[in-house]
Amino acid sequence: MLFDTPIFIFFLTVVVAGYWCLKFRRQSRFLLVASYFFYGWWDWRFLLLMIAIKIADTEDPRVRKSLLVLSLIINFSILGFFKYFNFFADSLVGALSGIGIHASLPVLRIILPPGISFYTFQEVAYIVDVYSGKLPASRSFLDYGLFISLFPHLIAGPIQRPSHLLPQVQKAREWDSENAFSGLLLILEGLFRKCVIADNCALIANAAFGGSFGKPSLPVALLGMYAFAWQIYGDFSGYSSIARGCAQLMGFHFMVNFRQPYFAESIQDFWRRWHISLSTWLRDYLYIPLGGNRHGERKTYRNLMLTMLLGGLWHGANWSFVIWGGLHGGGLSAERKFRNEAAARAGVVWKWLRRIFIFHVVCLAWIFFRAQSLSAAWAMLKGFGSWSWRPEFPSAFFFLALFSLPLLLLDLYLESSGDEYFFASASVRPRVAFGLACALIIAFLGANQANAFIYFQF
């Protein structure tokens, strides 16, 4: 059930209407059932993966640690089996073939359950926080189950921290018309980002990476790189806005997941703005436990690289994602080694030059993220060194500009105003006008194609 489909709009309308007709605990039960229905819409068998365990109450540190390890093993084993079995099996066959051993494994294609990485990370955060004493264990399976499976964040985040969302689940929610109105505007803005920006940019990206523009050359590589950069940003930031808006309709608040990432002035700044719920999770539950920056520069570089390599692998079971993570890890390490405090205090011109440079570094790395294989990514990179021209290129560049510049202008406004969405601090009439304008633009300029949100596959 995709966020940009009529069936989801109907589902959301029924759920919100029924939800506010009930009292607190019945609200939670109703919402838990609705969330399981939402997840089971893809395949009811995946509901078995939503069962989780809790660390039992005990004061024995050895028992507590054993339960922690057991819980982590169970969660990561489930994630690893479903997400990486095919990857490691294919890699083994390829490695054996490279040394002259032609082996074949039994045909066993594992279907990846939607959003398994997201709710696994959320479960792990809960387990670790309870173990470390940062959070009291939930005494109610209803509360815990709703924290994990609340449908707006279930498939592609934002990854909710237990300390932020669980208390909201455990207390009564009250109707707030202003909060609900903001939620509707967030949903409309998210649909604009997805249906108008991302889906139209996807037409160019798919043509460039799929060979419809011919062999990779400078124009093809530029079209593919820029189009995918705006596609993935519009797609995922749109999903996050819709998820946050749906949550607000039911009295919940989700963390902001994007803050104008293409205005970043460094790779570190990019990760403070892009997929914030994941970057902070990797920092708190991987980078810092590895040692962070507490044990000297060499180990700090090691920890940065390990964190980003694993972060890349989290995105997908493909070596191209590992390379993508390694590029970001290398960039973070290089910035740390060669950081220049004077440059950070430079004027506006230098600030924008840094932003343009970092944007292109991020775009080049996106080629590995988008390409289906390392060879395809390398072919696209080699295209920057060759030239060919086709009569459809001018219209393709115009089409790309037409559907990327609006998001750039929107981000310019949000960056200068500090608002979470367009006209967030305006009076009622401009906000209503903005919502109506979004609805009309979506109706007339939406790409009208069934594109699943990119992060659904992770």
Instruction: Provide the residue type at 157 as one letter.
Output: G
- In the numeric block, the tokens 């939402």 are attached to 38
Handedness of CA 151, 230, 415, 351 (dihedral sign): positive
Tokens of residue 62, six digits: 């050895």
Q: How far is 52 from 48, CA to CA, in rounded Å?
A: 10
Evaluate whether 240 touches 257 at the Cβ level (below 8 Å): yes
Q: How far is 231 from 225, CA to CA, in rounded Å?
A: 10
Q: How far is 94 from 39, CA to CA, in rounded Å?
A: 35
- SS3 (DSSP) at 50: helix
Based on the residue annotation, tell me whether 315 is a catalytic residue of this protein.
yes
Three-point CA angle 446, 449, 453, nearest 5°: 90
Nearest to 117 by CA among 314, 340, 272: 314
Using only C-alpha atoms, the chain has a radius of gyration, in whole angstroms, of: 23
Q: How far is 351 from 348, CA to CA, in rounded Å?
A: 5
User: Distance between alpha carbon 454 and the CA centroid of its chain, in Å?
Assistant: 8
Evaluate whether 238 touches 192 at the Cβ level (below 8 Å): yes
Q: How far is 28 from 35, CA to CA, in rounded Å?
A: 10
**DSSP output for 304-347:** HHHHHHHHHHHH-SSHHHHHHHHHHHHHHHHHHHS--HHHHT--
Of 102, 164, 295, 315, which one is the catalytic site residue? 315
Helix boundaries (H) for 371-427 = 374-382, 393-417
Evaluate whether 186 touches 245 at the Cβ level (below 8 Å): yes
- In the numeric block, the tokens 């390490």 are attached to 333
Evaluate whether 315 touches 321 at the Cβ level (below 8 Å): yes
Tokens of residue 196, six digits: 């108008």
Size of the chain in residues: 458
- SS3 (DSSP) at 137: coil
Q: How far is 277 from 352, CA to CA, in rounded Å?
A: 26
Task: Report which secondary-structure segment, H or E, holds 220.
Answer: helix 218-249
Q: How far is 208 from 222, CA to CA, in rounded Å?
A: 9
- SS3 (DSSP) at 31: helix
Residues carrying an active site annotation: 315
